Amino acid sequence: MAGTTVTMKMEIIAAETVRPSSRTPPRLQNLKLSLLDQNAPPVYFAFILFYAAEPDYIDVAGRSNRLKESLSETLTRFYPVAGRIKDHRSVDCNDEGVRYLEARVSCRVRDVLSNPEHETVKRLIPEEPTSELGGAPLLLVQANFFAGGGMALGVLTWHKIADGTSLCAFINAWASTALGFPDTAVPNFTAASSRFPPRDQPPATLSEVVKFKQPEEKFTVKRFVFEASKIAALKAKAAGTRVQSVTALLWKCALTAARSRRRKPLPRPSALIGAVNIRPRLVPPLSQYSFGNVLGLLLALADAEETNQLRSLVRCLSKGIEESTCGDRAMKLEMLQKVKNGDGDTYVYGCWCGLPVYGAGDFGWGKPSWAQVGVFTAANAIVLMDTRDGDAIEARVSLVPQEMALFECDPELLAFACAKPNPTC
């Protein structure tokens, strides 16, 4: 039944290192990072694909072997993924490999999808390595096999080597290799560093400059779905694109909840921080197969008066997106710090809309039933992605419990969004 907490037992039954099927030539063993890679936060980011039970694919050993063999072949073409961070300027493409875990899950996949709680899904993703970064794998995979034939594929990627576009390209290439089509993607590992050469002195990352709410603070994660018809009505009201309109509404309602919780509920400035895929925005543009981080810093700033107006927040977002390919990054971070120092409300934002999340990932047992991006580690975060049909938008929001209680009951939010715990309904 939707909304019921699932009792899930998960056991790791095998752990191994998967290496490229062929050795990387010496001339390719040192990969220069780009300035944009240096700008990326020093964290792992998570991605998970769920697959419904298929009667023809109850052979767990066969599926796991197919995953490992095709992963090994794919790593030969995506050789930096199998390497190790050498220093702040380069990756040692030494074929040390990626971590592959195999897990058995006691319940059925539909039991998890009936109420995909954040902490439950989190267990299906590899734990972050505890070793020093120079010895830690840059990619970790956890293949979770459920009772009844369903599965979930959890992936953890070091952000310094890849963004969402690059990870989708890698997973698509891996899946195509499993289907017998290994040459569908030709990654370019030098395009970004040629356009944005690294610096000897690495720039400060966003996480180093701004301290967001501490991870030990309790927070609640909720999922909301904006159906296509509701998005059309919201666009008319907000005067923005589908993504801008949804983002602005979530931002506005989060600010309303934060303001209501304060003793002095007066408007105050706010900032929304995220990243924008700038491959198509560059002149000349870079290919979607330009591997690495090709991201511009999105900083949307709203003064106290603008935080009450949906269209004003859309304009702030639009301006931040337009300026993501230009402007002084250090100045943007300084402006963000001023918002923080002035007791403004700050939110972290991620958008995967438009990425082939569901188009990738068919390893021979069908396309994913549901996908999820990211594991929340603190409050005040918003993540968007398209639903499986591509028409609706799924949003996941993390807030402190008191603010979430107000947020999820906001009439303005519920006029356009549905709190939908079950991705399959």
Residues that are catalytic: 159, 362
Q: What is the largest CA-CA distance in the chain?
A: 63
* Burial (0-12, 13-18, 19+ Cβ within 10 Å), 156: buried
Q: Do 84 and 180 contact (CB within 8 A), yes or no? A: no
CA triplet 160, 164, 169: central angle to 5 degrees?
Answer: 105
* Burial (0-12, 13-18, 19+ Cβ within 10 Å), 364: middle
Q: Is 382 helix (H, G, I), strand (E, B) or coil?
A: strand
CA triplet 175, 180, 184: central angle to 5 degrees?
Answer: 65
3-state secondary structure 42-86: CCEEEEEEEECCCHHHCCHHHHHHHHHHHHHHHHHHCHHHHCEEE
H or E, element range at 272: strand 270-277
Non-local (6+) Cβ contacts of 296 within 8 A are 275, 276, 278, 281, 324, 325
Strand runs labelled E in 278-334: 295-302
155's tokens:
């992936």
Q: How far apart are the first and last CA of the chain?
A: 11
How many whole angstroms separate alpha carbon 110 and alpha carbon 151?
10
Sequence letter at residue 205: T
How many whole angstroms separate alpha carbon 257 and alpha carbon 272?
16
How many whole angstroms separate alpha carbon 303 and alpha carbon 267?
9
Indicate the Cα dihedral angle 199, 203, 206, 210, nearest 10°.
180
Indicate the Cα dihedral angle 58, 46, 378, 278, nearest 10°.
-140
How many whole angstroms separate alpha carbon 259 and alpha carbon 40?
31
CA triplet 407, 119, 141: central angle to 5 degrees?
Answer: 125
